[in-house]
Amino acid sequence: METATSDCWIDGPEGRIFARRWSPAGEAAAGVPVVLLHDSLGCVALWRDFPAALSAATGRQVVAYDRPGFGRSDARTTRPSLDFIAEEATRYFPVVRAALGIDRFAVVGHSVGGGMACHVAAAAPHACEALATLSAQAFVEARTRAGIEAAKARFDDPAEVERLARYHGPKAAWVVDAWTGCWLDPAFGDWSLAPVLPRVACPVLALHGERDEYGSDRHPAAIAHGVGGPARFEVLRDVGHVPHREQPERVVARLAAFLAARPGRP
C-alpha cells in the first residue's frame, strides 16, 4: 500500500510544533489515527521509514510530531521540568490533537515517549483506543542511569553532537542536556509510572528488547501488570533499545496485529 505525507506547523505554548502525517494514498483510513511519541534524542525524521510502514500495514493514518526543542520544532531556552513526562499529556499533546482534528486515537511511544503515551492514555480514557510502548521506562533503574551516563560521556565528543545536529540543528546540545540532565538529576530518582498506570483503561501492548541498554524486562512487565485495562508484554530476542529500527518488520507486524483487534472508527 502506498502512503502519502503532509507536514504542518502548529502554534504551541512555547513556539511552533512540527508535525507530519502519513496516510494511505487514495484510500480512506481503516481506523483511528496512530500517534507516535518519540524518544529523548528523537524527532519526526528519526522515525525514518517506520511510520510509512506502519500506515501501509494497518491502513491507518499515522501522526508524529517534534516536541518543543526537538527536530524542526522551535527551540527552547530552558531544560524541561522534572514533571516533563506527565506534562506532555496536558501541555503539548492536546494542542497537537486539537490542531489536527484528532478525536479518537491510538498512541505508540518509544522510550520516554512510551511513558508519555501512558500519561496520554490515562488523561483521555474515552478517546484513546489502544496504547503500545517500545522500550519504555517505567521507573529509574540502575541500568537506566548507567546507560545514560555512558551516553553522556560519548557526547563529550563534539563529533557525536554534530551527528545529532543533522536532525536537531543548533538545538542538538540542548537535546542532550534535556535528556541527561533530567534523568540523572537526583531529584528524578524516584520517578515512576506506577501512579498513572491504573488509570490506563485501553488495551496495552508493551514491547521491549532483551538487550536494551537502558532497562531490563522489569519495565514492560511493570507496565502490563500496572495498567487498568487488558495488557500483555513481549520481550523481543536479539533486540536493543530501538526495536523499530533494529527489527522493523517484526515490530510493524506486532503492532498491526494488535491494532487490528480493535479497529475503531476513523
The stretch 106-135 carries a mean pLDDT of 98
What would the pLDDT profile of 50-65 be if each residue is shown by its tens digit? 999 999 999 999 999 9
What would the pLDDT profile of 189-242 be if each residue is shown by its tens digit? 999 999 999 999 999 999 999 999 999 999 999 999 999 999 999 999 999 999
Cβ contacts of residue 184 below 8 Å, gap of 6+?
145, 148, 149, 152
Rounded Cα gap, residues 132 and 199, in angstroms: 15
Q: Is residue 175 predicted with pLDDT exceeding 70? A: yes
Amino acid at 201: A
Which pLDDT belongs to residue 28? 67
Quick one: CA dihedral 177, 251, 238, 167, positive or negative? negative
Q: What is the mean pLDDT of the chain?
A: 95
Q: Is residue 90 predicted with pLDDT exceeding 80? A: yes
Q: Is residue 164 predicted with pLDDT exceeding 70? A: yes
The total of other beta-carbon atoms located within 10 Å of residue 257's CB is 12
Phi, psi of 231 (to 5 degrees): -155, 155
Rounded Cα gap, residues 126 and 137, in angstroms: 25
Q: Is residue 176 predicted with pLDDT exceeding 90? A: yes
Which pLDDT belongs to residue 77? 87
Do 111 and 39 touch, CB atoms closer than 8 A?
Answer: yes
Percent of the chain with pLDDT over 90: 92
169 DSSP 8-state letter: G
pLDDT band at 118 (very low <50, low <70, confident <90, very high): very high
Cα–Cα separations (whole angstroms), residue 80 to 16, 91, 135: 17, 12, 21
198 DSSP 8-state letter: G
Q: Is residue 266 predicted with pLDDT exceeding 60? A: no
Beta strand ranges found along the chain (DSSP E): 3-12, 15-24, 34-37, 62-65, 105-110, 128-134, 204-209, 231-236
The stretch 107-133 carries a mean pLDDT of 98
Q: What's the CATH number of domain 3-260, 3.40.50.1820, 1.10.287.610, 1.10.10.10, 3.40.50.1970? A: 3.40.50.1820
209 DSSP 8-state letter: E
Sheet containing 231-236: give its strands across: 3-12, 15-24, 62-65, 34-37, 105-110, 128-134, 204-209, 231-236
Rounded Cα gap, residues 221 and 9, in angstroms: 37
Phi, psi of 214 (to 5 degrees): -110, 5
The stretch 164-182 carries a mean pLDDT of 97
What would the pLDDT profile of 239-259 be if each residue is shown by its tens digit? 999 999 999 999 999 999 999
Cα–Cα separations (whole angstroms), residue 224 to 89, 148, 194, 206: 20, 24, 11, 7
The stretch 147-165 carries a mean pLDDT of 96
Which pLDDT belongs to residue 48? 96
Do 241 and 213 touch, CB atoms closer than 8 A?
Answer: yes
pLDDT band at 262 (very low <50, low <70, confident <90, very high): low
Q: Write down the pTM of the prediction.
A: 0.95
Which pLDDT belongs to residue 265? 45
The stretch 125-148 carries a mean pLDDT of 97
Rounded Cα gap, residues 70 and 76, in angstroms: 9
